[in-house]
């Protein structure tokens, strides 16, 4: 892996449907060269699979984040599944794991229940990621196309059109709509341990003050080190970054803490990243049963 590989990986993490030709134009190389490098990352299992992430509020759900002591994924999944449906799990350096679950309602009651029921892992922190106002005005056609694209987010429009017996124009329009939705990401899952020359990491920040101003300040300082576009909630910004060494990584984290309006910043170095889509498949299935054409959701 070199800087060019990391730039290609970053492009795909932010939009895996971007063509090899377009990525090449942006990076100053040919589309063929991009294709070769992507294939090498797939063969080395750096890229595990192309994937679509959907923020739970898009389909009317809430989400709770857990930081727990321990790295036994099976044990952690068993524990959090008593409270809700797993969304992602990421064991990190230092013997802690960050995970999230999807819930239907009553986040306060779910947090109380988690503290009572989860006995085999030590909970370091639980918090609700407040819905930042994702647009959830989807149609049944949008959901049907999303359901198909979950299988392979990079598949060609012509292939989807043939499979679903819809016009290419309809497919194109729906995909463009999905891509414009901040709560839906056409991305990929990668293996952090396979990136030997760089260290991917995340900095979770809690903000007190103007979120937009704070993000702009962060972008001015750190954008060249972003691996993914920052994730934003009402009082949180998560920076996904990469660095050549732990000293630079620590230096950047300290700089994040010095940014105006940043109340606190916690550093996480993932060793593995796993996503689960059972909740998403069920939510899409339930939504398609609705008698409404447009499905506007609102979480409690």
The mean predicted confidence, pLDDT, of the chain is 91
The CATH number assigned to the domain holding 221 equals 3.30.70.1150
- Who has greater pLDDT, 157 or 298? 157
The answer to whether residues 203 and 163 belong to one domain is no
Tokens coding 112: 């109380």
In the structure, what pLDDT confidence band is assigned to residue 295 with cuts at 50, 70 and 90? low
Q: Name the more confident of 35 and 233.
A: 35
Q: What is the CATH number of the domain that holds 33?
A: 1.10.10.10
In terms of Cα–Cα distance, which of 137, 135, 138, 129 is closest to 103?
129
Q: Is the pLDDT reported for residue 214 higher than 70?
A: yes
List all residues 6 or more positions away from 71 whose beta carbon is below 8 Å from its beta carbon. 91, 95, 96, 97, 271
Is residue 113 assigned to a domain?
yes
User: Is residue 166 in some structural domain?
Assistant: yes
**Contact status, residue 290 vs residue 145, Cβ threshold 8 Å:** no
Banded pLDDT at 156 (limits 50, 70, 90): very high
Looking at the structure, tell me whether residues 153 and 283 fall in a common domain: yes
Mean pLDDT of 148-165: 94
Task: Specify whether 155 is located in the same domain as 285.
Answer: yes
Rounded to whole angstroms, the Cα distance separating 4 from 22 reads 15
Contact 223, 239 (CB under 8 A): no
Domain residue limits at 10: 3-44
Could you tell me if 62 and 170 lie in one domain?
yes
Instruction: Mark 216-225 as b/e (b = at least 16 C-beta within 10 Å).
Output: eebeeebeeb
Q: Tell me the C-alpha distance between 68 and 9, whole Å.
A: 29
CA distance 101 to 110: 10
| Same domain? 252 vs 282 | no
49 within domain boundaries: no
pLDDT at 189 > cutoff 50? yes
Q: Can you tell me the distance from the alpha carbon of 123 to that of 140, in angstroms, rounded to the nearest whole number?
A: 39
* Total domains, the chain: 3
Residue 289's pLDDT band (cuts 50, 70, 90): confident
Average pLDDT for 130-156: 86
What are the pLDDT digits (tens) for 98-135? 999 999 888 889 999 998 888 878 999 898 876 666 76
Using left for φ > 0, alpha for ψ between -120 and 50, and beta otherwise, residue 20 falls in alpha
In a domain, 227, yes or no: yes
- Domain-embedded: residue 297: no
Compute how many other C-beta atoms are within 10 angstroms of the C-beta atom of residue 149: 21
In a domain, 152, yes or no: yes
Is 188 a member of any domain? no
- Residue 300 within any structural domain of the chain: no
Residue 40 to residue 31: CA distance in whole angstroms: 14
Q: Which of the four pLDDT bands, split at 50, 70 and 90, describes residue 300?
A: very low
Predicted structure pTM score: 0.90
**Is residue 20 domain-shared with residue 117, that is, in the same domain?**
no
Portion of the chain with pLDDT greater than 90, in percent: 76
My answer on whether 62 and 88 are in the same domain is yes
């Amino acid at each position: 892996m070199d800087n060019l590989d990391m730039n290609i990986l970053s492009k795909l993490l932010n939009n895996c449907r971007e063509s090899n030709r377009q990525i090449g134009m942006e990076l100053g190389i040919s589309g063929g060269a991009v294709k070769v490098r992507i294939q090498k990352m797939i063969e080395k299992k750096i890229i595990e699979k192309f994937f679509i992430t959907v923020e739970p509020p898009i389909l009317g759900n809430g989400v709770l984040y857990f930081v727990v002591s321990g790295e036994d994924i099976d044990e952690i999944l068993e524990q959090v599944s008593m409270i809700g449906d797993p969304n992602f799990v990421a064991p990190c350096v230092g013997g802690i794991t960050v995970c999230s679950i999807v819930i239907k309602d009553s986040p306060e009651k779910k947090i109380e229940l988690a503290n009572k029921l989860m006995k085999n892992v030590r909970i370091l922190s639980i918090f609700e990621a407040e819905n930042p106002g994702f647009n959830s005005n989807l149609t049944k056609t949008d959901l049907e196309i999303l359901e198909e694209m979950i299988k392979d987010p990079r598949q060609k429009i012509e292939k989807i059109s043939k499979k679903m017996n819809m016009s290419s124009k309809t497919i194109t329009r729906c995909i463009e709509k999905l891509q414009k939705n901040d709560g839906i990401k056409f991305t990929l899952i990668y293996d952090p341990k396979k990136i030997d020359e760089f260290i991917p990491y995340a900095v979770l920040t809690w903000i007190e003050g103007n979120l937009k101003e704070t993000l702009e300040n962060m972008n001015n300082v750190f954008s060249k080190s972003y691996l993914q576009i920052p994730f934003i909630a009402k009082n949180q910004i998560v920076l996904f970054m990469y660095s050549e060494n732990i000293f630079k990584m620590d230096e950047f984290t300290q700089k994040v803490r010095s940014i105006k309006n940043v109340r606190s910043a916690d550093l996480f170095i993932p060793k593995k990243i796993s996503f689960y889509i059972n909740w998403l498949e069920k939510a899409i299935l339930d939504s398609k049963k609705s008698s409404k054409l447009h499905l506007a959701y609102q979480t409690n």
